[in-house]
Every structure is written in C-alpha cells, then in structure tokens.
Structure 1
C-alpha cells in the first residue's frame, strides 16, 4: 500500500511563515500609504488649525485601528501572492506537487492563518475601532477645528442646547442634510417652558432650513397652551453642527448598531443604510479569508505561477481595487434601496469566493 505524501508540521509552519511575513510587510505598507493619503487630504486643515503637532499625531494614531481593519483584506491577498511568488521562483511549490502533495494541503496552513486574521479583524472592529474612531472625530472636529459640541444623545435622540432653550431631533441624514422630528423648546428667564415649535422635517437648502409640517404653541404661566401662527423654524444651527453628533457606522459596535436600528424602527423611522452597514460588519472580516483563498488559487494555478514579485504586488492592487469598487457599488445600491441589505453587503464576497473556487478547480484539472 503506497502512502500519500503529505506536508510535515515543519513544512506547514514554513508555508504559513512564507505568507505571514509578506502579509505583515504589505499591511504596514498599505497602512502607511492610507495614512499618508489621509494626511494630504486634510493638509489644509492641519496647517490652518495648527494640527501638525502632538494633537495631529494623536488624531492619526487614533485612526490607525480603522485603517488597519480596512486594509487587512488586501494585505492578505498581497501577502499570499508575494510569499508564493518567492516559493514559485525557487521551484518549491512545483517540487511539492511533483511529490504528489495536493494543492489543498499546501493551502491549508495559509487558510488557517487567514481565519485567525479574519477573527482579529472582527475583534478590533467591535472593540478598538469604535472607541478610537469616536475619539479621533472629537479631536479633529472639537479640539482641532474648535467647533462647539452642543449636544448629547439620550436614547439615540439628538438633543441640542441653543441660546434660548433646547432642540430635539429624531434623526439626521447627513447625505441629504435633512432633519426629522424637530422640536424647539424655548425657555424663559426662570427656565420654564414658554414656547414650543415642532416640524415634521426640515431640509437645508444651502443657506437656511426649509421646514414642513410646522406647528407652534405658546405656554402661559398657568399651563394654558395656545396655538400660534409661526411661519419659520429658527434653529440657529447648520448641518456642520449636526455633523458632530451623527455617528458614522464605524463608530458603532455591532450590538450598538443593532440597538440603534431597532430604536429608529420603534419610532417609525427608516434606518436606511445602517442596515447595510450592519451586514457589512459581518462580511468585511470574512473578506480576509476570501482574499487569501483567491491569492492561493492564483499562486498555485499553472498559468500565473511565474509572476514576478512586482507583478504579484500589482495584481494584488488590481484585485483589491476591483473588490473595493464592487463593494462600493453594491453598498450604494443597498443604501438607496435598490438591493436588499444582505445582498448588497455579501455579493462582493460571494463573487470573489466563486472566482477563487473556479480558478482552484480549473488549475487542479491541468
């Protein structure tokens, strides 16, 4: 009976190391490039507000967890392609295949490491990233640009302190600059409620808020309520003020995002793109494993096996760009309601997983 050759534990560790080393180099390179691009994008503000000192360093340091979580999938792909380009150049992959060692056995150590990377991505996205991103946003908007933080969240409703009282808002859509469920509480000198104005919604036209469904009331000292005929809702705020208050998806952990979506729905409000963002929190970490599998399929396939280091790195950039482009398109379609949230979040992963499986099966037949 002839025994099937297999990789030894030492060889397993060697192959995993051949992937992990280039992966760490690519992760550092992509993170540095992303950070440098972000720095140039904000360079005017950094110069204007004096953000090139310790405050600027603290801001970019707090952005690192988010950047790392976003570049991990592409770094996984590039690490596999570069690591196996080195092995292919020395003929070690071909030698293993000539000994009868299957490509699946060679892929297993890399895929195990990729599973650990996916788990790490999910972990930091749920723990470190939300807190660090919120603090980075606070430093940039409040401490650096000197915007006044006027509001707090109470049960996910926005409360804003203004000169003559308080304003509450059910929700704020940053993309359309629209407020829903606005109530203006005007206080007298003794901090008693004297006037109340409520509008169903208000939209910023570039200069002022244009409200609809406005009702106004006057409250006398004895508690008597009289309806008045106010025609304008004077907020004294701009979209920039509300921009400090609205959490972006990366500022939520998964359970916080679930609670926020449930709270919006309980108030009869449409959670919109937040449902897509919730599904992306599951899909994005898994992309690390899918990208590593695609890199293995390409590296072990007879056709692209002779790629040089430069071509392997370039191929990783092209595939990574294609993945992010497809993810951006499907996410936009999901947020606009043209695709169900689950499909919008998962279809890029499904497409690239199918490409990896197809290449792997095709190469096995040759």
Structure 2
C-alpha cells in the first residue's frame, strides 16, 4: 500500500516522466519525418501523420528508459537542492526507501514495454513500411518493390514474380513453390494480387513433383512407365478456364513482406515469442543462432533498463542535480551512455566476441552494479 511519502514522490515523478516521454518521442518522430521528407512532396498531411503514428509503439519502447532517467534526475535533483532528501534521511528514512515508488513505476514500464514488444510493435513496424510504399510514395504499388526477389511467405512457401502490371496493381509471371523433402509443389500464374495474408492467382497451373521417384522412372521398363510417371507427378492441375482463380493464405502479410524484403532497411517485425522460437530452433546455423540470441535477449534487456537506470539516476540526482538545466543534461548523458554501452556490447556479440546473452545484458549489469555502489555510498 502506498504511503503519504510514496504518493508525494509519485506526484513529483509522473508528470516529468510523461513530458519527457512525449519530448523524446517527438524528437524521434521528427527525425523520421526529416529523413523521409524528400519523398513526401504532395503527400496528404493526414497520411503523413498516420505514418508517423505507426512509429510510436516502437519508438516508445526505445525512449522509455531515457524518460525514466529524466523522471528521476530532475525531480530528485530539485528535492535534494531544497533539502528535502536530507530531511528524510535525518528523519531516519534511508535513500533506498525513496526508491520504492520509483521502482514500482520502473517495473510497470518494463511490463508495458514487454507487452508492446510482443503484441503491438511487430504489427506497427510492419505497417510503417507497408504504409510508406502503398500510401505515401508509390501509392498502392508497394509490391513492385518485391519484383524479381524470392520472398519467403512462411511455412516453406516462396513467392517470385518477374513483372508488375502498374495499371491493375498486380504481379505478373508469378511462381509459388513449396518443398517437402524431395517433393515440390509449384504453382505458375499469369497474374496475382497480394492483400493482407491472402494471395489471389489468376490463370494458374499447379504441379506436384516427387523427385525421389525419378530414379525409379529412369530405370523402369517401358510397360511400367505410366505407373512410374504417376508416382513422379503426384498432382497436375490445369483449369479449363484461362481466368481460373486460386486463393491461398500465407504466413506473412503484405505489410510484413514489404517490411522484410522491400529494401535493405528492414523493420524489426519480430515479436518476443517469435524471437525465442527462432533462438531455440535446432536447425539454425551458428550465425543465425547468434543473431537470434542477440535479438531475443535484447528484447528482454531493454525493457528492464527502465528499472536498472533508476538505480544509477537517483544517486546522481541527489549528488549533482543542483539546477534544472544541469539535471536535464545529466539525464541525457546517463541515457546516452547506457545506449552506447548497450550498442557496443551488441556489436561485440555480433562479432562473436561475447556470448549473445552477455552482450545483450552487459549494459544492464554494468549500470546496475555502478548504481548500487553509488547508493551504498
């Protein structure tokens, strides 16, 4: 149960947390707008704002630790300057006791960040790229960015198309393939559309070929060829109508396909649970396992930075937060230092110099240790 002291501290901390989060989110969004502004000439303002809005969940996960630092350094620096912290210590209340309500906020923000990383950010990050190509720049022709590329659609299904019909916003010369062992199902189509997680193929032909049976076909006597051919060609489907349509569900939505394969700047559309499944996949190559381990542990470590940075922010605020300007500058420096250590350790993990778990958690461990030592002093 919250005491009077806890409620007082929360009244000091929460407004600064809210304003700081808004400020940092606004700075990040302005950066995205500034970088993309050269391609946004003539784009409706509402659509630009919608595109920026899709960035917010992902940006929020990144900036909440920065906002937490500001929410501790600025109000506690003022309280220390006014003598309130010293008065609580003179009354027998240790500095660590003042951490309780702030740590509660930190754990709640960590939970919020984990929820966003699992349920919201993968979808909105995919929508950022899909909206960019389909609504802002190429106006519905985002699929043209995938022309000539082999696009994995999940569950072993791969899409390829060599042409694009600009008038009808459709793929042309489409090929889908699905392998199961040595058996391949290939679908050719004259054209196709891709909306949501649905592919619609027009003028299709479907062939299922079992390559494991071809050796027996080569050595079969002439009278056994018809039977062996049926074993090789498991299924051949050629509709009588040239306009026949086949509808398929994919494991990857159009937005996700654009986010992952439209350009080299792929958005992070991996949820926490998907990162874990990939990390524990026994068939992954060592390089892919290293990348999956870094992704999974980073998605855990960054939300918990909301708690870790409180430990180091409070002693700095009490000892050095003599003015609002100094407190603000100090909070930015602490946050920047954390992200520099975090990114440096991740880079070392990517090079194989550190195990993935240690690379992702190094910044948290270092800052928690330093913060706790400062608190003990």
Please report the TM-score for the alignment, with normalisation by the length of structure 1.
0.72
Partner in structure 2 of residue 207 of structure 1: none
Task: Say if 2:262 is the partner of 1:244.
Answer: yes
2:283 aligned residue (225, 249, 266): 266
Distance 2:317 2:311 in 1: 10
1:26 aligned residue (6, 11, 20): 20
Provide closer, same or farther for how the CA distance between residues 15 and 169 of structure 1 changes in structure 2, counting only shifts above 3 A: farther
SS at structure 2 position matched to 1:273:
helix
Distance 1:42 1:313 in 2: 29
Task: Say if 2:362 is the partner of 1:347.
Answer: yes
Provide closer, same or farther for how the CA distance between residues 96 and 143 of structure 1 changes in structure 2, counting only shifts above 3 A: same
SS at structure 1 position matched to 2:60:
helix
Partner in structure 2 of residue 154 of structure 1: 154
Partner in structure 2 of residue 101 of structure 1: 93
1:317 aligned residue (325, 332, 338): 332
Matched ranges for 1:287-306 at <5 A: 287-300=305-318, 303-304=319-320, 306=321
Task: Say if 2:175 is the partner of 1:166.
Answer: yes
Provide closer, same or farther for how the CA distance between residues 130 and 88 of structure 1 changes in structure 2, counting only shifts above 3 A: same
1:43 aligned residue (34, 37, 43): 37
Matched ranges for 1:46-195 at <5 A: 46-47=40-41, 50-146=42-138, 147-148=142-143, 151=151, 153-155=153-155, 158-162=158-162, 163-166=172-175, 187=188, 191=205
Bigger helix fraction? 2
Shift of the alpha carbon at 1:186? 8.9
SS at structure 2 position matched to 1:251:
coil
Shift of the alpha carbon at 1:13? 0.7
Shift of the alpha carbon at 1:72? 0.3
2:271 aligned residue (250, 253, 256): 253
Shift of the alpha carbon at 1:62? 1.0
Shift of the alpha carbon at 1:245? 8.5
Shift of the alpha carbon at 1:284? 0.7
Gaps (5+ residues) in structure 1? Answer: 1-6, 171-182, 196-221, 226-239
Please report the TM-score for the alignment, with normalisation by the length of structure 2.
0.70
Shift of the alpha carbon at 1:267? 6.2
Contact 1:156 1:260 in 2 (8 A): no
Distance 1:169 1:43 in 2: 40
Partner in structure 2 of residue 337 of structure 1: 352
Shift of the alpha carbon at 1:142? 3.0
Distance 1:344 1:18 in 2: 35
